[in-house]
Structure 1
Amino acid sequence: YCAEHGAEHDESFIPGSAWAFGDDFPSFALLSEDGSIRGVAAGMIGPSFKAIRRARFAILHALGEPSVDSYGPLARAVADAVADAADELYLFHPEVLAGLHAVLEELGFSFERTSYLMKVEIRDVRPAPFPEGYATEAVSPGDDTSLARFVTVRNRNFKEVLGSRDARVEDFRDIMESPENIPGGLIIVCAPDGTDCGTLLLERDEEEYSSFIGTVSIDTAHRRRGIARALIGKAMIMSKELGFRQTYLSVNATNAKALQLYQREGFKIMKAMSCMTVKVSL
């Protein structure tokens, strides 16, 4: 069911053959009288989610026209399962699904933000240079000291990003140990005085021949110098050298400066996703 219908809403974490189930991945099916599945819901409440008391729906989907009668029991089942470890649940759905949006609001969900999924084809890449004196440093596997530096810079810059929460060293260690990891893809930007001032993460995307750019952050004092553009160029060069044909990234619709930068670099909006949140007491 998830393989057939999951991408209709959000393909980020569709439960598949490796889905763990259990307490950290509570999963439910809504059954018809004949025993066939007519809806599913699954949540994620592992250590990184517990640390911020905010769980995520991996999938919340029912057949037919969206209704409170179908989505309500599924949403409540996940909410009850994560109630001891989280105060809030969130999900993403395509902005165009107005009927689903209305049903979720009726169930107590609130709109938080719109996020754009953007894509660019990798062809002739001419990256912008870094400003004089700035350098990049790749975090090596097992180097928790450098990983902590990366997380520190990321967290202080992402505090201004709507919907973001502080990350942990463990979260990025898991990324470096995952199949999506690209060696050298976790990058710290160093200023001329040797201080850390920016971050970049480049991963493999689940789509074949695709990479994903994330965690682009620059300290306020070092912005407007072309560092972000240089980071995007670096990620594009790395992607091309590894044989990727396109790369993706995600940006909040309200982040006008970042959106303009990505569009100048050739990225196009592929999908607008609405993030909605709900208290687990729904």
Structure 2
Amino acid sequence: MSRLRSYRDVADLEAMAQLVAQAWAERGPHVECTVGDLTWRLLRNAQVRPQEDIALWECAPGQLAGFAWAYSNGDVDLLVQPLAQADAFARDLLPWVRARHGRTPQPTTVWALESNGSLLAALRSLGWRRTTGGCYLHLALPLQAPAPRPELPVGYRVRQVRGPEEVAARALVHRRGFGTERMTTEVYARLMEAPRYQPALDLVAEAPDGSLAACALGWLDEANAVGEFEPVTCAPEHRRRGLGRALLHEGLERMRGMGARQAFVYAFEGNPASVALYQSAGFTVVDRNIGHTLESP
């Protein structure tokens, strides 16, 4: 008998990571997220409340088969594995979704991959319809022969973060790139202590004056030999100088050296600059994550 319960602790996070890894082993790259995404989503700001934001779905006692992750903007990410459980998963999860976001003013949007026909059919049968607000592109790149290294502007260099002594500067370049105040020094310090954080994949572009101009954080699913970038950004005054592409190149080479056979990244369809950056580095679209809203009665 299936059951739905709230997230409890890091043991649940590890179970979720194992489920994501299983999904990648079976149907990668057509999976809603990567193992690294879970750590990033949990620690990317101080507003995450996992016991309230995450619901776990067990198809039998102690057998995790899916989860939903809700965000303050009304979005809800879904993952079910195996896909044969999609219909039962949706029936059990969507009432929780409606209750969870019934307390917020934002419209609720649940996300499902275009390739996940089972989940899409389950959503449609329960009255959820595709939104018109754009989708998230899932882009992949096989890691085969090394690519030529992009040329950096004079005085710039790409390197990994030096360590805890640079955490304030690392958090600052993230805030400046995304125009958000959520990534505080304390939040980033906590992220750097996470088990799946790898300093060798935390990359920055240093400007001629020694300040940080851009950043890219990489994650690695060793079991499936998959590397991912999440997030990538550049401070406004340093844009259009090739820094993002240089960071991606360095990250790809490091991922390759760590055993990754493919790399993965997301880009919002409505952000052409982001899409163009990843495509210029060789990434191609392999799937789309599509939003759905509940049809009015």
TM superposition score normalised by structure 1: 0.68
Q: Say whether residues 1:95 and 2:95 are aligned partners.
A: no
Structure 1 residue 257: Cα displacement: 2.8
Q: Secondary structure of the equivalent of 2:216?
A: strand
Q: Which residue of 2 aligns with 1:147?
A: 167
* CA RMSD, Structure 1 to Structure 2 (Å): 4.3
By percentage of residues, which structure has more helix?
A: 2
Q: Which residue of 1 aligns with 2:234?
A: 218
Partners in 2 of 1:56 and 1:139 — Cα distance? 32
* Length, aligned pairs only: 254
TM-score normalized with structure 2 length:
0.65
2:235 aligned with 1:235? no
Give, in whole Å, the separation in 1 of the partners of 2:192 and 2:172: 17
Aligned twin of 1:42: 67
- Report whether the alignment pairs 1:121 with 2:150: no
Residue 18 of structure 1 corresponds to: none
1:194 aligns to what SS in structure 2? coil
Distance 1:271 1:248 in 2: 11
Give the direction of change, closer, same or farther, for the CA distance of 1:275–1:81 in structure 2 (3 Å limit).
Answer: closer
Which residue type is aligned with residue 26 of structure 1?
Answer: A
Q: Distance in 2 between matches of 1:133 and 1:88?
A: 46
Distance 1:226 1:270, change over 3 A: same
Q: CA deviation at 1:246?
A: 2.0
Q: 8 Å contact 1:42–1:78 — kept in the other structure?
A: no
8 Å CA contact 1:185, 1:203 repeated in 2: yes
CA separation of 1:92 and 1:150: change in aligned 2, threshold 3 A: farther
Matches of 2:205 and 2:132, distance apart in 1: 34
Secondary structure of 1:212's match?
Answer: strand
Identical-pair percentage: 17
Q: Deviations over 1:211-238 (max 9, x none)?
A: 1122221223222222112111111221
Contact 2:158–2:246 (Cα < 8 Å) also in 1: no
Cα 1:117/1:139, change in 2 over 3 Å: same
Are 2:80 and 2:89, in contact at CA under 8 Å, matched by a contact in 1? no
Structure 2: any 5+ residue segments left out of the alignment? 3-15, 39-49
Q: Give the gaps of 5 or more residues in structure 1.
A: 16-20
SS of aligned partner of 1:154: helix
